[in-house]
Amino acid sequence: MGEIFPFIGDVWFWFILGVLLLIGELLAPGVFLLWLAFAAAITGVINFIMPLDWQGEIVTFAILSVALVIASWRFVRRQHRPHSDQPDLNQRQVGYVGRRATLLQAISNGSGKVKIDDTVWDATGADMPQGTAVIVRSVSGTTLHVERVK
């Protein structure tokens, strides 16, 4: 392979490859090529300090690439966990659990309507007539599961 790709044994190859991968990172969406660029640059530094044959360079680049991608994946995954003091901010129906309301439309065959504040919600529960006082026990999507107030 040294005869086919004579430039691989050159120290500058890895630095040039690193720069080309960084340019590719700028042109492509995502953050994947960045880690390969770092692996190429580190391979170039290792090859500069301790010259390797072309097989050693390829193995070093492969090991560094895999290690950096795995490390970055773990780091990025940890950073993207939602950290909020209001995790239900855009799910206001979750905040209705435990609230009392009055049935706007009777629940028959397990389905009816309830009005809370200024919004009419689908409601499920035991059959009850219109005007019954209910309490919200749980939420499933945009449907409130209600029970009769005792």
Q: Residues of CATH 2.40.50.140 domain(s) within the chain? A: 95-148
Mean pLDDT value across the chain: 84
Residues in the chain predicted with pLDDT less than 70, given as ranges, are: 1-9, 79-92
Q: What is the 8-class DSSP label of residue 130?
A: T
Distances (CA, A) of 38 to 23, 76, 99: 12, 16, 55
CA distance 98 to 15: 62
Q: Is the dihedral of CA 92, 93, 99, 101 positive or negative?
A: positive
> Would you state the pLDDT for residue 141?
84
Closest alpha carbon to 65 in 54, 53, 73: 73
* pLDDT, tens digit, 9 for 90 and up, residues 65-102: 999 989 888 877 776 666 666 666 666 677 788 889 99
> Would you state the pLDDT for residue 64?
94
Question: Fold for domain 95-148?
Answer: OB fold (Dihydrolipoamide Acetyltransferase, E2P) (2.40.50)
List, in order, residues 6 or more apart from 139 with CB less than 8 Å away. Answer: 93, 94, 96, 97, 145
